[in-house]
């Protein structure tokens, strides 16, 4: 049983001690922020992207660094998961990529605004967050869209669109995503015209398909079709 003087001393010692520890931890945390956030990479484009993020209340649906709503996907590692090219196509017209299914608002961003939003998300994704967010362990997840698909000797090299966008969902030769079917041997399952029509407008070929409409240009359609037809 403590006496009054002992209790007072214990209280004062504990208060001062824990206050000192709290202040030290605060100072240490603030000291590490510049290095862990890579603030040297916070350029004008990143700042404009943050302003667009706030102006459009993106946190009303998404979380970033664990803060925000939980209606839409967590975006801390969005660039790492999907890649710049995929995000650029999606932000330009979310509904076109997923007709009738995506609830993402069409903001009609300009190309410059899309570049700024991606720059902001890229900067966020490179912050040292001690492993947050954890990778899901309940379902297979697509690998980063920048995955390299190396052609075999003498084979046609994949177009940039394939290595930057398609591999976010599909795999080839064991490399790529797991959302869509593997594309090994796809050239034996389609004729050229049928494959090109599918890539041009998946919904017109198979209504309700999960394959998004990427709004590809004629040159991209030709390059992608030519490459996929070599996969036999």
CA 139 to chain CA centroid, Å, is: 17
Q: Which helix (H) or strand (E) holds 68?
A: strand 67-68
Cβ partners under 8 Å of residue 132, min gap 6: 65, 66, 76
Mean pLDDT of 47-58: 96
Contact assessment for residue 78 and residue 87, using Cβ atoms and an 8 Å cutoff: yes
Residue 118 pLDDT class (50, 70, 90 cuts): very high
Per CATH, which fold does 41-125 belong to? Cytochrome Bc1 Complex; Chain D, domain 2 (1.10.760)
Give yes or no for residue 150 having a pLDDT over 70.
no
Identify the DSSP state of 98.
Answer: S
Question: What is the largest distance, in Å, between two alpha-carbon atoms of the chain?
Answer: 92
Per-residue burial over 97-119, b if 16 or more Cβ lie within 10 Å, else e, is bbeeebebeebebeeebbbbbbb
CA atoms of 149 and 162, how far apart (whole Å): 9
Alpha helices in the chain (DSSP H): 4-37, 44-55, 78-82, 84-92, 94-97, 111-125, 160-164, 192-200, 202-205, 218-228
Domain with CATH 1.10.760.10 in the chain: 41-125, 160-228
CATH 1.20.120.530 fits 160-228, yes or no: no
Please count the CA atoms within 13 angstroms of the CA of 110 that sit on its side-chain side.
Answer: 6
Tens-digit pLDDT profile for residues 83-117: 898 899 999 988 877 777 778 889 999 999 999 99
pLDDT tens by residue, 5-51: 888 888 888 899 999 999 999 998 888 888 888 889 999 999 999 99
pTM strictly above 0.85? no
> Is residue 228 within 8 Å of 186, Cβ to Cβ?
yes
């Amino acid at each position: 049983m403590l006496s009054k003087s002992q209790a007072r001393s214990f209280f004062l010692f504990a208060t001062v001690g824990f206050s000192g520890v709290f202040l030290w931890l605060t100072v240490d945390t603030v000291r590490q922020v510049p290095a862990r956030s890579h603030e040297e990479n916070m350029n004008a484009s990143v700042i404009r992207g943050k302003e667009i993020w706030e102006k459009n209340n993106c946190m009303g649906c998404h979380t970033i660094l664990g803060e925000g709503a939980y209606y839409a996907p967590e975006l801390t590692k969005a660039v790492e998961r999907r890649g710049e090219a995929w995000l650029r196509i999606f932000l330009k017209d979310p509904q076109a990529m997923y007709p009738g299914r995506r609830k993402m608002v069409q903001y009609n961003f300009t190309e410059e605004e899309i570049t700024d939003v991606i720059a902001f998300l890229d900067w966020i994704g490179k912050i040292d967050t001690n492993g947050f967010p954890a990778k899901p362990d309940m379902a297979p997840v697509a690998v980063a869209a920048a995955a390299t698909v190396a052609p075999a000797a003498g084979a046609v090299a994949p177009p940039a669109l394939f290595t930057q966008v398609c591999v976010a969902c599909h795999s080839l030769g064991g490399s790529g995503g797991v959302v869509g079917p593997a594309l090994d041997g796809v050239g034996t399952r389609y004729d050229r015209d049928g494959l090109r029509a599918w890539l041009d407008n998946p919904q017109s070929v198979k209504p309700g398909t999960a394959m998004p409409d990427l709004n590809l240009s004629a040159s991209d359609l030709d390059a992608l079709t030519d490459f996929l037809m070599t996969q036999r």
